[in-house]
Amino acid sequence: MTGLLLNHRVEGPASAPPLLLGPSLGTSYALWDAVAPELSIGHRVVRWDLPGHGGSAADLIGPGASVGDLAGLVLRLADSLGVDRFAYAGVSLGGAVGLHLAVHHPDRVASLAVICSSAHFNGAKPWEERAALVRAEGLAGLAEGANSRWFTAGFTVPRLVQDHREADPGAYAACCDALAAFDLRDRLTEISAPTLLIAGREDPATPPVHLREIADAVPNAALLELPGASHLAPAQCPEAVLTALRAHFGGAAPRGMEVRREVLGDAHVDRAQARQTPFTARFQDFISRYAWGEIWTDPTLSRRERSMITLTALVAHGHYDELAMHVRAARRNGLTPEEIGAVLLQTAVYCGVPAANSAFATAQRVLAEEEG
């Protein structure tokens, strides 16, 4: 069954509302690397690869493919994950897939965000020519111009350019066939899902007028133009895209999950998310939103200073399991074992010797594990 599915990555608690993220032509799900982890605080995020891109098999589509074929693969993936109704965001070709799903499968799409995309892609001829070129010569030459098509001058994401270079030429050409045949302008008024359009003001491939056309046709749609953004806005302007998607889909505070992972480590946060249940979801959201998204991001104190304060408070209240976690965090934040020892020694004066005794035992165990 795995070979019949699009390659994908799932992030966030299984109990959270599902959110599917679609890529653009030539990229993998790495397009969402700067956005998906934050969205996964409040959603079960599923990023997927186009056929022949990233880890998806090339033979999932063939010559003459349509956007409807790609949408069918997305629905097959959702079904395999037990996902019935979902929010959806997609870039370029991924956005076209979202439009198709919203028109032809309205019962599946709870809300929609279309980013740097269009209801049509400037006619069939350019895509037919590109498909023929790729089938004849491969992708190396086309990948050389990726930066100018995707980003403003001086900006690049090497991983995405590499994805372009390594995509399967046949599958890439079949995706071009899909873009050549795509035109949903006469069906846009049928979309009932709450819809957000995000345009890159510097996007040469799908300039803002294309998104404005969709916004004018889809009932109650909203349009956001991002200054300084080109075609791959989630990679070039992730904070702006994240803020817009969080407001549209609902989510947590800026940078909360990023800082939480930086301080506590991926392994700890992954375990916490895996244990999350509907009962604990709001508490986990509170932690990421308030403690990590507001307090730990406040530049008034350095992370080293915050670690010292946190260690002291945990000793004072006897929270030794949390203390072990924050000894590890203190090391990540740059404290040496000697500095940690000095903090704990100070707690002996102000929190009591028994409390400091237990704290030293906990810290010594953690630091020994680190050395081992």
Query: pLDDT per residue over 120-133, tens digit each?
Result: 999 999 999 999 99
Give residue 284's pLDDT: 79
Is residue 181 scored above 90 in pLDDT? yes
Give residue 283's pLDDT: 82
340, 298 in Cβ contact below 8 A?
no
Both tokens of 77, joined, read 């993936």
> Please, which residues have CB within 8 angstroms of residue 343's CB and are 6 or more apart in sequence?
308, 311, 312, 335
Is residue 177 scored above 50 in pLDDT? yes
Three-state secondary-structure class, residue 306: helix
Give residue 251's pLDDT: 47
Q: Report which of residues 343 and 267 the model is more confident about.
A: 343
Is residue 200 scored above 70 in pLDDT? yes
Our CA angle for 134, 76, 213, nearest 5°, is: 65
Is residue 281 scored above 80 in pLDDT? no
Give residue 252's pLDDT: 44
Q: Report which of residues 205 and 251 the model is more confident about.
A: 205
Query: pLDDT per residue over 38-53, tens digit each?
Result: 898 889 999 999 999 9
Query: pLDDT per residue over 64-109, tens digit each?
Result: 999 999 999 999 999 999 999 999 999 999 999 999 999 999 999 9
Q: What is the spatial distance between Cα 92 and Cα 67, in angstroms, rounded to a whole number?
A: 12
Give residue 170's pLDDT: 98
Give residue 84's pLDDT: 96
> Please, which residues have CB within 8 angstroms of residue 219's CB and are 6 or more apart in sequence?
189, 191, 192
Give residue 216's pLDDT: 97
Q: What is the spatial distance between Cα 119 and Cα 179, in angstroms, rounded to a whole number?
A: 10
Q: Please name the residue ranges forming H helices in the chain.
A: 36-39, 67-80, 93-104, 125-137, 140-144, 146-150, 158-166, 169-181, 208-217, 233-236, 238-249, 256-264, 266-274, 281-286, 303-317, 320-332, 337-350, 353-371
Query: pLDDT per residue over 213-263, tens digit each?
Result: 999 999 999 999 999 999 999 999 999 999 899 889 974 444 678 889 899
Give residue 255's pLDDT: 66
Query: pLDDT per residue over 326-370, tens digit each?
Result: 999 999 999 999 999 999 999 999 999 999 999 999 999 999 998
Q: What is the spatial distance between Cα 135 and Cα 367, in angstroms, rounded to a whole number?
A: 57
61, 18 in Cβ contact below 8 A?
no
Q: What is the spatial distance between Cα 182 and Cα 335, in angstroms, rounded to a whole number?
A: 56
pLDDT class for 1, splitting at 50, 70, 90?
very low
Nearest to 178 by CA among 68, 20, 23: 68
Q: Report which of residues 260 and 169 the model is more confident about.
A: 169
Q: Report which of residues 252 and 148 the model is more confident about.
A: 148
Is residue 285 scored above 80 in pLDDT? no
Q: What is the spatial distance between Cα 151 and Cα 231, in angstroms, rounded to a whole number?
A: 6
Both tokens of 324, joined, read 């072990």
Give residue 370's pLDDT: 85
